[in-house]
């Protein structure tokens, strides 16, 4: 058996997996603090509890952020604020087993590819639309990480250099146009400025509740602001996906993340701009699929990337 860990911004999931990839037991750690020492020790505790009395092949850890090639040090983790922490070495010393650290979206894309898609398509581009946008790529049957292990940053593909400011400091990134937190911020601002429409009824006047699912609901009810915003999101999503298809000519575009899971319409609404901006031969070939393994994907991916490299 093996252990998979997914370190998020507010919780950590630790899972025990069988050799066929199934998650047989799972535990959630709610993080009361985010400092490295605390999180590391809580994760070690939970792993030891899960692994007790079992032969464990190793531990795969999925974490947001940039992972250094070779050492697998976490150079920067945006959701926990960690800088240059040596999680792999620290865990190996404490657990006395092999540990692999992988970017979380790489891990999720690999997990979906290997287990949900059974490793069949050769080229898969994973686009995870959550608060921001994460990317993962399987090229010619292998996870692609770039020359210094920090590639596949699909969320920072520039779709409009004059566009809105991104959290990375640049302008018009894919995620600044389609990421959940950016969309919500935009609608919130307009409501705070006095906009009242069906969206205000949908959230019952409680701005703190607002998420992209509400925006889609108000869009369906004919709210003018949400029509404008949601159609723009769909337009740019289609453009972003078209660019990826033009560059990589993938077998599969795999869409996941909270915004996608919370929407029934967005993928269909993105089709017109996707078709308008993609090269016909590539577009004809590609299957657009939703990710199906949800939170297990990163656990499965990270723990089965153990053998992939040393």
**Shortest Cβ 196–Zn ion spacing (Å):** 32
Q: Please tell me the distance from the alpha carbon of residue 23 to that of residue 21, in angstroms, as a whole number.
A: 7
Of 169 and 194, the one with the shorter C-beta distance to Zn ion is 169
Hey, which residues between 167 and 226 contact Zn ion (CB under 5 A)?
168, 170, 173
Pairing of strands 11-17, 82-85: unpaired
| Pick 156 or 211: Cβ nearer Zn ion | 156
Q: Report the run of H or E that residue 113 belongs to, with start and end.
A: none
Determine contact, residues 126/117, Cβ cutoff 8 Å.
Answer: no
157 binds Zn ion (CB under 5 A): no
For residue 288, report the phi and psi dihedrals to the nearest 5 degrees: -100, 115
- Binding track, positions 103-142, relative to Zn ion; x by CB under 5 A: ----------------------------------------
Minimal distance, residue 126 CB to Zn ion, in Å: 18
Closer residue to Zn ion in complex, CB, 15/134: 134
Min dist CB 159 to Zn ion, Å, is: 10
47: number of CA atoms within 13 Å, CB side?
30
Q: At closest approach, how far in Å is the CB of 172 from Zn ion?
A: 8
**Cα 191 from Cα 235, distance rounded (Å):** 23
CA-to-CA distance for 306 and 310, rounded, in angstroms? 8
Of 166, 237, 241, 299, the residue at the interface with Zn ion (CB under 5 A) is 166
With CB under 5 A as the rule, give the number of residues binding Zn ion: 5
Span of 50-58, 71-79, 107-115, 160-168 interacting with Zn ion by CB under 5 A: 160-168
Q: What does the alpha-carbon distance between residue 125 and residue 253 come to, in Å, rounded to a whole number? A: 5
Assess 156 for contact with Zn ion (CB under 5 A).
yes
**Contact predicate 177/236, CB 8 Å:** yes
- The region that residue 53 occupies, defined by phi over 0 for left and psi between -120 and 50 for alpha, beta otherwise, is left
Shortest Å, Cβ 174 to Zn ion: 8
Rg, Å, the chain Cα set: 20
Instruction: Report CA 127 to chain centroid distance, whole Å.
Output: 7
Residue 261 C-beta: closest distance to Zn ion, Å: 23
Nearer to Zn ion, 133 or 234 (CB): 133
* Closest CB to Zn ion among residues 126, 135: 135
Contact pattern from residue 242 through residue 281 relative to Zn ion, giving x for each residue in contact according to CB under 5 A and a dash for the rest = ----------------------------------------
Which one, 57 or 156, has the nearer CB to Zn ion?
156
Selected range binding Zn ion among 57-65, 158-166, 261-269, 271-279, rule: CB under 5 A: 158-166
> Least Å distance between CB 156 and Zn ion?
4
Strands 59-63 and 23-30 come out as unpaired
Nearer to Zn ion, 6 or 153 (CB): 153
Q: What are phi and psi of 70, to 5 degrees?
A: 80, -70
- 170 versus 209: smaller Cβ distance to Zn ion: 170
Helix residue ranges per DSSP H, 112-223: 174-178, 180-192, 198-202, 212-220
Contact between 152 and Zn ion per CB under 5 A: no
Alpha carbons 166 and 152: distance in angstroms, whole number? 17
Interaction site with Zn ion (CB under 5 A): 156, 166, 168, 170, 173
């Amino acid at each position: 058996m093996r252990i998979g860990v997914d370190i998020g911004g507010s919780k950590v999931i630790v899972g025990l997996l069988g050799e066929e990839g199934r998650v047989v037991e799972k535990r959630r750690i709610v993080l009361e603090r985010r400092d490295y020492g605390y999180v590391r020790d809580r994760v070690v505790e939970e792993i030891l509890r899960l692994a007790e009395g079992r032969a464990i092949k190793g531990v795969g850890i999925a974490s947001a952020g940039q992972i250094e090639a070779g050492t697998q040090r976490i150079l920067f983790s945006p959701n926990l604020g960690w800088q240059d922490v040596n999680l792999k070495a620290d865990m190996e010393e404490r657990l006395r087993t092999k540990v692999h650290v992988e970017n979380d979206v790489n891990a999720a894309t690999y997990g979906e590819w290997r287990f949900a898609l059974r490793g069949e398509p050769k080229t898969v581009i994973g686009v995870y639309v959550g608060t921001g946008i994460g990317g993962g790529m399987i090229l010619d049957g292998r996870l692609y990480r770039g020359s210094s292990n920090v590639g596949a940053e699909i969320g920072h593909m520039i779709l409009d250099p004059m566009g809105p400011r991104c959290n990375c400091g640049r302008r018009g990134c894919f995620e600044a146009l389609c990421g959940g937190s950016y969309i919500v911020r935009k609608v919130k601002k307009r409501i705070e400025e006095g906009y009242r429409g069906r969206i205000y009824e949908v959230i019952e006047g409680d701005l703190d509740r607002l998420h992209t699912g509400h925006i889609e609901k108000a869009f369906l009810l004919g709210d003018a602001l949400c029509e404008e915003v949601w159609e723009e999101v769909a337009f740019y999503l289609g453009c972003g996906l078209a660019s990826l298809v033009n560059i990589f000519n993938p077998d599969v575009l795999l869409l996941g993340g909270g915004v996608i899971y919370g929407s029934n319409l967005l993928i269909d609404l993105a089709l017109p701009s996707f078709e308008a901006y993609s090269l016909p031969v590539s577009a004809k070939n590609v299957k657009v699929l939703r990710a199906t393994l949800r939170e297990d994907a990163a656990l499965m991916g990270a723990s089965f990337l153990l053998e992939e490299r040393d």
